[in-house]
Amino acid sequence: SSSPCAACKLLRRKCTRECVFAPYFSSSEPQKFAQVHKIFGASNVSKMLQELPVERRRDAVASIVYEANARIRDPVYGCLGAIFTLQQQIAQLRKQLSAAQSEMVLLKFQHQHREP
């Protein structure tokens, strides 16, 4: 009765009540499914979703959409680009923290051995 989901529209097939994509890929956002299809392929994503309990599927779709977008934006590193950036931030923060801790040790030493 209703219009097919974005997946069934792209794949030109009938969208049934059992369609595994319909709850997550509305026909109003055709790009969302198109990107997932380009990177993972509809049948792989269908299998991935079917292997999960229904209540985990929305999170799985969100992460699959994120990964597909990341791979399209950065065809060499995909999600790994984000991981590298975060690792660099962590390295930078550790360096700052270590510098702050060294300075603190120095300040405490000066505080204890202060000249009157």
Note the residues at the interface with a second copy (CB under 8 A).
38-41, 43-44, 48, 51-52, 56, 59-60, 63-64, 66-67, 71, 75-80, 82-83, 86-87, 89-90, 93-94, 96-97, 100-101, 103-104, 107-108, 110-111, 114, 116
Helix (H, G, I), strand (E, B) or coil at 79: helix
Report the C-alpha gap between 116 and 114 in whole angstroms: 6
CB of 8 to a second copy, least distance (A): 19
We find the least distance from the C-beta atom of residue 22 to a second copy, in angstroms, to be 19
Please, what is the minimum distance in Å from the beta carbon of residue 110 to a second copy? 6
Residue (16 or 80) nearer to a second copy, CB: 80
27 and 2 Cβ atoms separated by less than 8 Å = no
Cβ closer to a second copy: 13 or 108?
108
Smallest separation (angstroms) from a second copy to the CB of 34: 13
Dig out the tokens for 1 from the structure. 């009765």
Q: Which of 17, 32, 18, 21 is nearest to 5 (CA)?
A: 21
